[in-house]
Structure 1
Amino acid sequence: MQSRWNDENAARYAEAALAAGQSEALGLRIYTSHLIGGDPDLVLHGGGNTSVKVTSGNGQALMHIKGSGWDLDTIEAPGLPAVHLEPLLETRNGPKLSDPEMVALLRAALTDAEAPNPSVEALLHAFLPAAFVDHTHATAILALADQTDMRDTVRHIYGGRLAYVPYVMPGFDLSIIADRIYHEHPDCEGLWLENHGLFTFADNARASYERMIEFVTMAEQELARKGVTLTGPQPSDGAEDMALRARLETALVRDGSPFANGVVLDYRSTAAIRDHAGKADVEEIGLRGTVTPDHVIRIKPWPMIIDADFDAAAINAALAAYAERYRAYFARNATRTSEPKQMLDVYPRVVLVRNKGVYALGASAKAAMIAGDLCEQATRAINAAEAYGRFTPICEADLFDMEYWSLEQAKLQVANT
């Protein structure tokens, strides 16, 4: 992976921010956010987040943090709302915050009451002392992060430059635990989040961004050392069976379905997708879960698998089996928490056609396109993970907690408006 930093472009962003009455640091934060968001092998569609700490004109410590509903590739100043840093730092040694309490705290800390909700990972950004903090779900990182027992391997690859954080659900708990691990490794330049992604940080925008690029490159090199080729984003080039599409549409557009008013099918068939779809154990691999936790809110915990020659009756049977599996998944997990859960719909968001390709499903073209992009990246990460060792994402219980996390559901609603 190559750095795309350009001094002239960086200067233009900084000058534009100053001309708008903003800080140079915010301008550079917008610039490197665009660099990160413009690379689908770093983040996709709302994934990842960035921040910068600044001092206001009256001497107050502030942090600009990505707001919910914004994508890094198109983010502008309103999408990086400012929060007062002090009340966030006070939570480090305070009592545990519930999700509603954390959201209330973050909203109370906003300098503009009309600004979007700060990222659910805002506390972790605040706790890290560096001015600039970047977080991504890079494909190469996921191929390695979704392996078992990677602590020693991460140490071998990065030495003391990255501190290893075992999987913890994003939000308050992750912020507290990652902060503790950071302080146990105060000289580290980033955090490796098991089954999740990567944080890098520095006191200037270029260093934080280029550390991200360097660390992702080192992950690519580790894959290559094991003979694993991580393919880049690929255009869809496989022919679609239009008769199969028609049968799927008929089966999905029905009363009680989230697609009762129509379904959009985004078909993808690339070399990487066909490689994945042709695996004899593709269904078992799919049932393991998503490559990074927040994908579950857009593409469900697993795909529905069909053959290219499925007729209408076989597709309906596959949908019924998917629904039965999803209801059982919900029943197993909903009773674990004290907070009542209401089951979401039981329809897939991804239909994988063996040996052919994948359909991403959405009630709108935007939702289907986003799901399709996630599938394209996920199949490349899974292929690399399987070639390296064994694709092992978060367990079912953690996946359920993420899918039914109220904060993630709220973020999805904002993104779809």
Structure 2
Amino acid sequence: MKTFSAFAASKPIASLWDDAQAASMSEPELLLYRSNLLGSDLRITNFGGGNTSGKIDMPDPLTGQTAKVLWVKGSGGDLGSMKIDGFATLYMDKLQALKARYRGLAYEDEMVAMASHCTFNLNPRAASIDTALHAYIPKAHVDHMHPDAVIAIAASEHGEQLTRDIFQGELAWVPWQRPGFDLGVKLGDITRDHPNLKGLVLQNHGLFTWGNTSKECYENTVRVIAQANAWLAERSDVPAFGGAVRAPLDRQARLRVVERLVPSLRGKISGDGASGQRKQGHFDDRAEVLEFVCSQDLAPLAALGTSCPDHFLRTKIYPLVLAFDPERDNLDEVIDGLDGTLEQYREQYRAYYERCKRPNSPAMRDPNAVIYLIPGVGMLSFARDKTTARIASEFYINAINVMREAQRVDRYVGLPEQEAFDIEYWLLEEAKLQRMPKPKSLAGRIALVTGAAGGIGRATAERFLQEGACVLLADIDANALAQAEASLSERFGKDVVASAVTDVTNEVSVQASMAASLTHFGGLDLVVSNAGIASSAPVGDTSLELWNRNMDILATGYFLVARAAYRLLQEQGVGGSIVFVASKNGLVASAGAAAYCTAKAAEIHLARCLALEGAEHGIRVNVVNPDAVIRGSKIWDGKWKEERAATNKIATDDIEDFYRKRSMLKLSVLPEDIAEGVYFFASDLSAKSTGNILNVDAGNAGAFTR
């Protein structure tokens, strides 16, 4: 396998500063411009990581006089996407006054709260724990980045000597210390005592650089990182991770491993039996990952844990390496042994917690791994939501880059265990977790909706997305499906929406849509069978072709989707919900629609059979019966509308009004109304309901279920 180097292969980092664009900007706007430029390149800093700051003269709203104000990225922001309101603003003179209030390392955390007393102009943006690291460096503009290249040096056994060799005295080495007030004061002292420095390398952490202007600071940051990249690239001929011991499986084979593995894996780390919360997953098999999982040093390096605090806060201190051997193809053995493998990891994590906990440490969190490495295949990550899982994966790729380059030039050293624990269980981090909003009702759930490009299917997908689910959109109409995916992705984000062109009458196509849910999101919880057609013809005029078409899509199609989902949910082992979108016509016959009514009745009875068999596995199966959902419906856009108008002897333009007046409540039924019924059965609101039917038809006495 070819040796990989992100630094040798990628385009060199260079300044993107545009003087013409920056010419009319104010100092705060220049700071934002610089921040967005830095955050747009993940080689410079990871998502959500790093900080920028500027000490800017501002008119004091109280006195009208000029005040020196620290503008610094606030807590929780991302440099690449932040806006001007993402900066905390603090009086510099008040920040300097805090030094007199500092009571020592045992009281570090109280200084974070003290920073709020320094707020300028009532800015509600909370200051981050890194504020002191910027405030006391006596430079107008300061950048703190987490570039893989510099962290590789910072996480090397002889990192201090490497820093001298590479940067020839321009950058100073700062031994590891947890970020906080004391470290901020030390950085200020070092910088003041060595006025010719261009920056600092923080052991196992990252890089500080500065300048007199935003442009000078930005270009200094870019230059230093580019210098580290170039130095490492010159040494990229050294085999990575001790060299390859296996070749990666081909792409389709890798996906097949994931499809077989994730139902059991997700089931065992989700639900009441493990973490108490279902998880959404992400699969990554890019070149960096494959090089690592195919290498000689995979197991020993993974066991060392990550180095940079940002890395292990997202990924836990170390991953779980699964004992898959592509040459032996022992996947069944790996799956059968998952209980023991996962429990061993949990026991190790519990032991780590017990060894390192302080008297005031928060309670132990979920002891399951976040990152799962599969030799020859790639990396899975699982978290409370898809975006968090994807970001955790990206952070572990940062860790892979760091380990690879550190091993090439020296020896990689992870953060000491106690230091790692003290950050993972930092009371300030715990307070941040406690402030997070309550999870939405479908958080951690993964849904598959057939007929998702039509009115009811799309409305259902939207309702699920609103409640925190990931949704796999399935439909036979490729163009309409692409439009639905694009629209929902724009509203809810690309992480949580995916699609698969699906013919529900084709067993292979149905299985492929289930596989897509596994590879995109790591599992499946909710299945909505909604794909459909409608036809109208007297019995004497109903051709065998028309009859079979109704049965194929509305009966056989529902069976194929339900059977595939049922098998997957059984394997996953944490229950689930299947909802059929049937019809009022499944309960009450309509003249001139024998094929349609019969097929819909078959759907309802199939759901009852499934409910009987699924109950012992926690799989609930229920039915929502719409009637006359005309607005937004693909079915009513076609021949069905003309046929029903002819049967009822009305004009096609009068269809909606006719059905509204026919209903007991005299109301039109909309796709959103059906989606609400489907959501009820899919969610825990109906946790004690199975085998039930909910009519959403504005009232039809003939369709009363009892």
TM-score of the superposed pair, with normalisation by structure 1: 0.89
Q: 2:278 aligns with which of 259, 262, 285?
A: 262
Q: Which residue of 2 aligns with 1:67?
A: 74
Q: Which residue of 2 aligns with 1:234?
A: none
SS of residue in 1 equivalent to 2:66: coil
Q: Which residue of 1 aligns with 2:311?
A: 295
Matches of 2:420 and 2:215 in 1, distance apart? 34
Matches of 1:165 and 1:217 in 2, distance apart? 20
The one-letter amino acid of 1:326's match is Y
Contact 1:69-1:415 within 8 A present in 2 as well:
no
Q: Which residue of 1 aligns with 2:21?
A: 9
Q: Which residue of 2 aligns with 1:138?
A: 147
SS of residue in 1 equivalent to 2:79: coil
SS of residue in 1 equivalent to 2:304: coil
The one-letter amino acid of 1:122's match is T
Matches of 1:114 and 1:53 in 2, distance apart? 16
SS of residue in 1 equivalent to 2:116: helix
Matches within 5 A, 1:389-400: 389-400=410-421
Q: CA deviation at 1:305?
A: 1.0
Contact 1:228-1:388 within 8 A present in 2 as well:
no
Contact 1:269-1:358 within 8 A present in 2 as well:
yes
Q: Which residue of 1 aligns with 2:45?
A: 43
Matches of 1:415 and 1:158 in 2, distance apart? 41
- Structure 1, unmatched stretches of 5+, are 15-23, 232-236
Matches within 5 A, 1:185-224: 185-224=194-233
- 1:157 equivalent to 2:166? Answer yes
Deviations 1:113-153 (A, max 9, x none): 46232121111211112111111100111111110122222
Matches of 2:359 and 2:345 in 1, distance apart? 27
Deviations 1:246-265 (A, max 9, x none): 2212222231533x442211
Matches of 2:71 and 2:284 in 1, distance apart? 37
Q: Which residue of 2 aligns with 1:17?
A: none
Q: 1:82 aligns with which of 78, 89, 99?
A: 89
Residues 129 and 400 of structure 1: CA distance in aligned 2, closer, same or farther (over 3 Å): same
Contact 2:153-2:162 within 8 A present in 1 as well:
no
Matches of 1:413 and 1:221 in 2, distance apart? 42
Report the count of equivalent residues: 399
The one-letter amino acid of 1:8's match is A
Contact 2:349-2:367 within 8 A present in 1 as well:
yes
- 1:313 equivalent to 2:330? Answer no
Q: CA deviation at 1:26?
A: 0.5
Q: Which residue of 1 aligns with 2:320?
A: 304
Q: Of the two, which has the highest radius of gyration? A: 2
Residues 406 and 196 of structure 1: CA distance in aligned 2, closer, same or farther (over 3 Å): same
Q: 2:29 aligns with which of 27, 30, 33?
A: 27
SS of residue in 2 equivalent to 1:81: strand
- Bigger shift: 79-88 or 320-329? 79-88
TM-score of the superposed pair, with normalisation by structure 2: 0.54
Deviations 1:38-66 (A, max 9, x none): 11111122110011111121211111111
- Bigger shift: 113-122 or 300-309? 113-122
Deviations 1:273-325 (A, max 9, x none): 11111223322211212131122221111001113415433122111000000
Q: CA deviation at 1:225?
A: 3.4
Matches of 1:70 and 1:230 in 2, distance apart? 37
Matches within 5 A, 1:305-344: 305-308=321-324, 309=331, 310-334=333-357, 337-344=358-365
- 1:249 equivalent to 2:281? Answer no
Report 1 or 2 for greater relative contact order, CA contacts < 8 Å, sequence distance ≥ 6: 1
- Bigger shift: 317-326 or 178-187? 178-187
SS of residue in 2 equivalent to 1:352: strand
The one-letter amino acid of 1:165's match is V
Contact 1:52-1:63 within 8 A present in 2 as well:
yes
Q: Which residue of 2 aligns with 1:107?
A: 116
Deviations 1:381-403 (A, max 9, x none): 22222222221121111111111
Matches of 1:107 and 1:219 in 2, distance apart? 37
Q: Which residue of 1 aligns with 2:425?
A: 404
Contact 1:164-1:191 within 8 A present in 2 as well:
yes
Q: Which residue of 2 aligns with 1:124?
A: 133
Contact 1:68-1:411 within 8 A present in 2 as well:
no
- Structure 2, unmatched stretches of 5+, are 1-12, 60-64, 241-249, 325-330, 439-706
SS of residue in 1 equivalent to 2:144: strand
Matches of 1:193 and 1:382 in 2, distance apart? 17
Contact 2:278-2:384 within 8 A present in 1 as well:
yes
Contact 2:58-2:67 within 8 A present in 1 as well:
yes
